[in-house]
Structure 1
């Protein structure tokens, strides 16, 4: 884990992305300090998930920069001139950015323990025994120590998502991204995932959370951002954001999700 500083841990500047003629992100700017939680709201197609994928280096931005702990991601500047990072360099840089997706993406032929340990053995070349020990610790952390030898088909959706969170955590990322982590869950299973996320926030994990869970954003976020058509149109603390939003689009969105 990268040490906390008073400067932003992660900053995004003028981030833009298009697919053909469809401009998804139109120059996004924001930053987050170590230990903070940012909640991101917005309608489907507003660019929220695309931004997370760019930060996680799963796609390349068309323009802009992402800086994590003073290091620009997605580029190679070792020779004094910035060029696009190779796939090998991207894989190395991704280790500091964890991501939890809407879908759990677990390997069905592996139990929970080995799904989590795989991240260490493949990404960081950790020895198998050490990886399994770390995986067991992370499953305990998300409340699944007694389910470590269950296969995905034997777990509920909420339990599978908690395994996915453990898989992201085991790499000890500096920042953890969540892309609507409860959207694929039945209503009665949402709470168990949010409880884990709240505990991570209380422990000081730096988190960027795309969500429609208004209660979670009110309780946990340090700041809430509103996306609309590829831009951030509002950014405020939860009390201000939900109590007296300045933008009409924000007010309209909140009236529907509430």
Structure 2
């Protein structure tokens, strides 16, 4: 009998998620590079470049929709083959990204690109968390990551004549959602990590990080609603908390 029977199985369990995470990370890098190129020529470019890229984005929009349709068809056709089905999802996801980013950029220009340039790295980070970290850590950092994006939007748009009221309503709704998440987390903790029949957290998971994430996020959002300047400091505070929590769980994983 081997001295450590689990030593040969652990690398196998990690290999699949690690490979998928690396592929998603590379795709995110390509997406971020594409957004930076669009920003350079469509927002900060010369008049000729802006006009040219306005046409390019419209072509990319329709091409993205076509690729999305192909991805959906491939996913349906290859439904019984998991590896091929993932290829279909990947093709569809790429088409959806290019179609949505083109539509969003054409509609909101600089604000859209600034938002997407923030969202893409955050999504890349969250994918790494959900693939390699404990579930309670993943939930907590996901909440904090979404809150950072919400604070950034509040700081940019709360003083806007056109979007200020809309952003304020969304911020209030988000605070309510945070309260609901905290309540559901308490229910899940009482039922060994389950919400109904769904296993949301491991039975032995500590829900404290989720409570802390919800509480800090709610306080930060309230501060942002009171003062746009406070949103800036709230963003830095949450960013420090995210960094500290990520370092703690990384050490714990190692």
Q: TM-score, normalised by structure 2?
A: 0.27
Largest Rg, 1 or 2: 2
- Provide TM-score, normalisation by structure 1: 0.27
